[in-house]
Amino acid sequence: MKGRVDLSHGGGGRAMQRLIDEVFRRALGNPALDEGNDFASLGAVQGRLVMATDSHVVSPLFFPGGDIGCLAVHGTINDIAMSGASPLYLCASFILEEGFPLSELERIAQSMGKASRDAGVPIVAGDTKVVEKGKGDGVFISTAGIGVVPEGVNTSGSMARAGDAILLSGTIGEHGVAVMSSRENLSFGTPIVSDTAPLHRLVAAMVSAVPQIRAMRDPTRGGLGAVLNEIAMQSGVGMNITENRIPMREEVASACEFLGLDPLYAANEGKLVAVCPPEKAEFLLETMRVHPQGRDAQIIGEVVEDKRHFVQMETVLGGKRIVDWLSGEQLPRIC
Amino acid sequence: MKGRVDLSHGGGGRAMQRLIDEVFRRALGNPALDEGNDFASLGAVQGRLVMATDSHVVSPLFFPGGDIGCLAVHGTINDIAMSGASPLYLCASFILEEGFPLSELERIAQSMGKASRDAGVPIVAGDTKVVEKGKGDGVFISTAGIGVVPEGVNTSGSMARAGDAILLSGTIGEHGVAVMSSRENLSFGTPIVSDTAPLHRLVAAMVSAVPQIRAMRDPTRGGLGAVLNEIAMQSGVGMNITENRIPMREEVASACEFLGLDPLYAANEGKLVAVCPPEKAEFLLETMRVHPQGRDAQIIGEVVEDKRHFVQMETVLGGKRIVDWLSGEQLPRIC
């Protein structure tokens, strides 16, 4: 290999086989992937299946706290976990730009392999395509995955009901600020790193304690603001939240002020929002706080009747503010 | 909508919701997708699962006989089918370039919807990202899917044994030549159209008649030559094939000559290679020929012992030729 991706790496011939063997199989290897077919044989699966997919185009590819590789693994694991499911298998498709350094591709593949092993969710199938220089941007990664929902669990963004409590698992804005400051070459007194992490273990503890959880969603693109509006719209309800209950690191708040970002719309990659019946909220909160990924969890508000599906926030100063849909693009290519 | 993709369509806000509602849900809608979660709820599945994924970067996006949309559906259905499985569900991730006409995106989404309905395999989950102009190329589509293998069927590229018969389901080279001539703005006396098609119904008939099929693979990128070499390597065998048994349309042969392409390496998107025990070969051939997608099927050769894993071809003139791995890229971005 001459050290860079060339078009032959996507051609279906010997160069592609070598790339698969020397980069992907070495980093991601497991029995299903190693079999070397265009499909992965997985065995039987008991229970109700869920499936999810995500494309990842984050720029830059490497950022404080992570890279496109681990992000692509965590992103799809988390989408599956938001159904209450245990993620079982992932697959990954790569679109490489001609000229991309193979050493960086190796780093990314190794980061995916580590994220996949740490999460206990193997990458069982893959695909590689190459586009000409100037027709892509280094590497794009699409992941898809499946999981199985535990008996008695049934969540959907459409199931929030007036009176339900709204919980948030931790501090907001870290991924968005980490990527943005890395893109702008900014450094702050206290370095801000992405919160990218797999949430399925936290979710397993949550649904085991409170199988009645109505809805979960991870506030990635569009942040907390987008996710609350989505659930409100899907369920045909409104939401009232309280600003000073939303956990946020001080350095993230300062960085957002400096960058002109509203942290409510900044992306997170290791946080979740959960909606549950009010009488279960305290127990769910305690359960979350026992878990390392939920130690800063808070009940941030409640679901209310509202035909306009507004998300309203009581501000720190005691006023009211509508947390509207984001109308433009706050941060392109954040994930 | 101003008629073109802009960065806000990937931002997680209102514009993205509208794109999803007005383009993707309208074209692809089904209950799981319409639920509007980041995951699709699928119910329980009986039997041994398989999973596959493919990214699609074909250029041009529209070509004689198809487009990137139906190709993305057929590509993953076929990868799943090569395990002998019935494909059940697909998901699709889109990477859109800023400025791409929404009307073309709609055409592509509708083509995917039609391909998915025709095949009976719904697209249950999706994702959309947008990259800046010049960082992508119109649209890239990654699909992934799952299927269930019938009891008693067990295929893998590693299972070919000396003495086995090698079958090919039909004429080769059409997809490669159709895309290539469209790219070069060439037209031939008889128009050559892509063979893009889902193969799962042909496969269902084949594995039902001959569950002992050892291996199947669809000769896409790299064509028949690549697929035979892959199976030979995986199984640790050699192969002898006979050139005049390989079905090919005359116009494809002429176009290949004109374009300087070797049809053995030209891509197909609606053909398959099958390896089966010799005593089952005639019955499998008859079964395939009854099916519209197998009417031109042929037994093209046999598996032999060969520690070098060579694929050798008896040429039309009676000579011998080694069908080697493709070492470069014959046709970039063919799928």
Same domain? B263 vs B300: yes
Q: Which residue of B has its CA nearest to A138?
A: B135
Mutate to test the interface with B, among A53, A88, A229 (most CBs of B within 10 A): A53
Is B248 within a domain?
A: yes
Question: Nearest chain A Cα to B124, which residue?
Answer: A51
Which DSSP string do the residues of A285-313 spell out, in sequence order? HHHHHHSGGGTT-EEEEEEE--TT--EEE
> B119 and B72 share a domain?
yes
Tell me: do B126 and B175 sit in the same domain: no
Q: Do A326 and B79 touch (CB under 8 A)?
A: no
Q: Would the CB atoms of B222 and A12 count as touching at under 8 Å?
A: yes
Q: Considering chain B, what is the average pLDDT of its residues?
A: 95
Number of H helices, E strands in chain A: 10, 14
Q: Tell whether A269 lies on the interface with B, counting CB pairs under 8 A.
A: no
First to last CA, chain A: 30
Tell me which residue has tokens 């896409």. B220
pLDDT exceeds cutoff 90 at A95: yes
CA distance B28 to B7: 23
- Tokens 């929030």 appear where? A160
Indicate yes or no: CB of A156 within 8 angstroms of CB of B47: no
CB A92 within 8 A of CB A72: yes
Confidence of residue B330 (pLDDT cuts 50, 70, 90): low
3-class SS of residue A239 = strand
Determine whether the interchain pair B144/A93 forms a contact, defined as Cβ–Cβ distance below 8 Å. yes
The answer to whether residue A334 sits within a structural domain is no
Q: Is B217 on the interface with A (CB under 8 A)?
A: yes
Is A327 a domain residue? no
Cβ of B49 and A44 within 8 Å? Answer: yes
Q: Mark whether A192 and A138 lie in a shared domain.
A: no
Residues of A in contact with B140 (CB under 8 A): 95, 129, 131, 140
* A46, β-bridge pairs: none
The confidence score (pLDDT) of residue A335 equals: 93
User: Residues of chain B with pLDDT > 90: what percent?
Assistant: 89
Using one digit for the tens of pLDDT, what is the confidence trace for B144-193? 999 999 999 999 999 999 999 999 999 999 999 999 999 888 887 788 99
Point out the domain boundary residue: A104, A123, A149: A149
Same domain, residue pair A13 and A39: yes
In a domain, B334, yes or no: no
Interface of B with A in 115-144 (CB under 8 A): 124-132, 134-137, 140, 142, 144
> Mean pLDDT throughout A231-253?
97
**CB atoms B127 and A53 under 8 Å:** yes
Q: Which residues of B touch A45 (CB under 8 A)?
A: 45, 49
Q: What per-residue confidence (pLDDT) applies to B104?
A: 98
Check residue B329 and give its pLDDT.
61
Statement to judge: residues B187 and B108 lie in one domain: no
Q: At what angle do helices A68-81 and A102-119 cross, to 10 degrees?
A: 30
pLDDT (tens digit, 9 = 90+) per residue, B37-94?
999 999 999 999 999 999 999 999 999 999 999 999 999 999 999 999 999 999 999 9
Q: Which two tokens stand for residue A216?
A: 């979960």
Cα–Cα distance measured from residue B307 to residue A128, given in angstroms and rounded to the nearest whole number: 29
A234, closest residue in chain B (CA to CA) = B36
The CATH number given to whatever domain includes residue B23 is 3.30.1330.10
B44 occurs within a structural domain? yes
Band of residue B106 on the pLDDT scale cut at 50, 70, 90: very high
Both B317 and B179 in a single domain?
yes
Res A102 pLDDT > 90: yes
Same domain, B111 and B178: no
Across A168-188, average pLDDT: 92
Q: For B76-113, b where at least 16 C-beta lie within 10 A, e where not — what string?
A: bbbbbbbbbbbbbbbbbbbbbbbebebebbebbbbbbb
Going by pLDDT thresholds of 50, 70 and 90, the confidence category of residue B322 is very high
Percent helix / strand / coil, chain B, rounded to 5: 35, 25, 40
Using a CB-CB distance cutoff of 8 angstroms, which residues of chain A are in contact with residue B130? 329, 332
Q: Chain B residue closest to A34 (CA)?
A: B234
Residue A284 lies in a domain: yes
pLDDT above 60 (res A150): yes
Same domain, A212 and A106: no
- A–B: how many Cβ contacts below 8 A? 286
pLDDT at B189: 78
- Quickly state the pLDDT bin for A154 (edges 50, 70, 90): very high
Residue B110, pLDDT above cutoff 90: yes
Which residues of chain B are within 8 Å of residue A261 when distances are taken between CB atoms? none
Same domain, B179 and B295: yes
Pair of tokens at residue B91: 């998901």
Q: How many CB atoms lie within 10 A of CB B152?
A: 9
Q: CB B218 to CB A38 under 8 A?
A: yes
Residue B243 lies in a domain: yes
Question: Residue B253 — very low, low, confident or very high, per pLDDT cuts 50/70/90?
Answer: very high
Q: Which of residues 57-76 of B touch A (CB under 8 A)?
A: 57
- In this predicted structure, the answer to whether residue A297 has a pLDDT above a threshold of 90 is yes
What residues make up the domain containing B144?
A: 7-149
Which residue type occupies A189? G
Which pLDDT band holds residue A1 (cuts at 50, 70, 90)? low
B29 token code pair:
């809608």
Q: Kindly determine whether residue A13 and residue B226, on different chains, have CB atoms separated by under 8 Å.
A: yes
Q: Chain A residue closest to B328 (CA)?
A: A8
Q: Measured between CB atoms, which of B49, B55, B125 is closest to A43?
A: B49
The answer on pLDDT for A146 being more than 90 is yes
CATH code, domain carrying A182 = 3.90.650.10
**pLDDT, position A12:** 84
State CA B112 to chain mean position distance.
Answer: 14
When pLDDT is cut at 50, 70 and 90, the band that residue A329 belongs to is low
Q: Do B81 and B213 meet the contact criterion of CB atoms below 8 Å apart?
A: no
Token code pair at residue B268: 């197909």
Q: Does residue B1 carry a pLDDT above 70?
A: no
Q: Do A327 and B8 touch (CB under 8 A)?
A: yes
CB contact under 8 A, A127 and B53: yes
Cα-Cα-Cα-Cα dihedral sign, residues B302, B303, B308, B311: positive
Q: Is residue A71 part of a domain?
A: yes
Q: How many domains, chain A?
A: 2
* H-run or E-run covering B88: strand B86-97
Does residue A14 carry a pLDDT above 90?
no
pLDDT digits (tens, 9 = 90+) for A220-239: 999 999 999 999 999 999 99
Q: In this predicted model, what pLDDT tens digit does every residue of A265-277 receive, in sequence order?
A: 999 999 999 999 9
Query: Are the beta carbons of B13 and A329 closer than 8 angstroms?
Result: yes
pLDDT of residue B12: 84
Kindly indicate the confidence band of residue A189, based on its pLDDT and cuts at 50, 70 and 90. confident
A1, A35, A38: best to mutate for the B interface, most B CBs within 10 A: A38
N- to C-terminal Cα separation, chain B: 30
Q: Which of A149, A183, A214 is the last residue of a domain?
A: A149
Give the DSSP per-residue string, B120-167.
T--EEEEEEEEE-TTSS-SEEEEEEEEEEEPTT----TT---TT-EEE
For testing the chain B interface, which of A7, A25, A39, A180 should be mutated: the one with the most B CBs within 10 Å?
A39
Question: Which B residues, 13 through 32, put their C-beta within 8 Å of a C-beta on chain A?
Answer: 13-17
Distance from CA of A226 to the nearest CA of B (A): 6
Are residues A187 and A298 both part of a single domain?
Answer: yes
- What ipTM goes with this model? 0.96
Q: Choose the closest CB to B36 out of A54, A157, A221.
A: A157
pLDDT tens track for B12-30: 888 899 999 999 999 999 9
Task: Say if residues A188 and A132 touch (Cβ distance below 8 Å).
Answer: no
- Find residues 81-120 of chain A whose CB sits inside 8 Å of chain B: 82-83, 85, 89, 91-95
pLDDT in tens, B195-206: 999 999 999 999
- Report the distance separating Cα B266 and Cα B334, nearest Å: 9
How does the average pLDDT of chain A come out, rounded?
95
For residues B180 and B316, state if they share a domain. Answer: yes
Q: Which of B100, B122, B149 is the last residue of a domain?
A: B149
Instruction: Determine the average pLDDT of the residues in B94-120.
Output: 98
Residue of B nearest to A267 (CA): B12
**Token code pair at residue A102:** 């193979």
> What's at A277, amino acid-wise?
P
pLDDT at A188: 77
B250 lies within 8 A of chain A by CB: no
Residue B125 and residue A325: Cβ atoms within 8 Å?
Answer: no
